[in-house]
Amino acid sequence: MKQLPMRRLFLLLVMACCATASQAQMGDFISLKRANNRHVASYFKGSRIEFQHVNGQYINGPIEAVRNDSIFVRQWQIVSYITQLGTSKVDTLGSMVYGLHYQEIFKIIHNKKEGWGFVKNGSIFMIGGVGYAVLNLINGAYRKEPIGDPANLRSLGIAGAVAGGGFLLNRLHRHREKKGKNYKIVYVKMTDK
């Protein structure tokens, strides 16, 4: 006799979970894919997006809605002003929701967490090579050593090669903008409306 109320409680709990899960269907979203249809990122209601419009304007902010082949992004107007004490202060004047068709997005700036990015883009090599060369020249002038000394020229050559390699890495480094023949922006319809 005591199992009957327990079964009713279990049945009630299962029905409540099913009712909650049925309300959790995701809305439409924008998907960024590579040319080989490989998924890169998804942008849906509540997520942040940064992109360039076809007219060249950069828009970033949280997505308010994605529906009917359109994306609605809230942009905040933030200004800085001078206080009576002469210091500057930043304040939010308001916000505006931009609605645009998803094909009006020229390129999406995708923020992939990239570890050691300063090494991959070569900036650390350029800073290190130029910094070493400058310090070598300053120390040589302080010690009154000739710049044309073979050991000194070898050190300067290595520093120049490191800086040049960093410059080459910087030019070859892929940037965050994702558009063109390598990427495509796809609208994924999840609702029946």
The per-residue pLDDT for range 48-75, each reduced to its tens digit, is 999 889 998 999 899 999 988 899 999 9
CB atoms within 10 A of CB 57: 10
Q: How confident is the model at residue 1 (pLDDT cuts 50, 70, 90)?
A: very low
d(CA 179, CA 81): 37
Tokens of 102: 């998803």
Q: Which pLDDT score, from 0 to 100, does residue 123 have?
A: 87
CA distances from 16 to 19, 20, 23, 55, 159 (A): 5, 6, 11, 49, 68
Q: Which residues contact 41 (CB under 8 A, 6 or more apart)?
A: 31, 32, 108, 110, 112
d(CA 31, CA 42): 4
Q: Taking the model in full, what pTM does it have?
A: 0.55
Tokens of 16: 């409540």
For the CA atoms of 173, 179, 180, 184, the dihedral, rounded to the nearest 10 degrees, stands at 130
pLDDT tens-digit series, residues 22-31: 555 678 888 8
Q: Which pLDDT score, from 0 to 100, does residue 184 have?
A: 86
pLDDT tens-digit series, residues 81-92: 899 999 999 988
Using the CB atoms, write b or e for 106-125: b if 16+ within 10 Å: bbbebeeeeeeeeeebbbbb
d(CA 94, CA 78): 8
Q: Which pLDDT score, from 0 to 100, does residue 179 have?
A: 60
Q: Which pLDDT score, from 0 to 100, does residue 97 have?
A: 92
**Tokens 């710049």, located at residue:** 147
pLDDT tens-digit series, residues 93-134: 888 998 999 999 888 887 666 666 667 788 899 999 999 999
Tokens of 63: 């997505």
pLDDT tens-digit series, residues 166-193: 999 888 876 655 566 678 888 888 877 6
Radius of gyration (C-alpha) of the chain in whole angstroms: 28
If one compares 16 and 175, the residue with the highest pLDDT of the two is: 16
CATH architecture assigned to 29-112+176-188: Roll (2.30)
Domain borders along the chain are 29-112+176-188, 117-172
pLDDT tens-digit series, residues 141-151: 999 989 888 98
Q: Which pLDDT score, from 0 to 100, does residue 82 have?
A: 92
Angle, helices 123-143 vs 150-172, to 10°: value is 160
Q: How confident is the model at residue 20 (pLDDT cuts 50, 70, 90)?
A: low
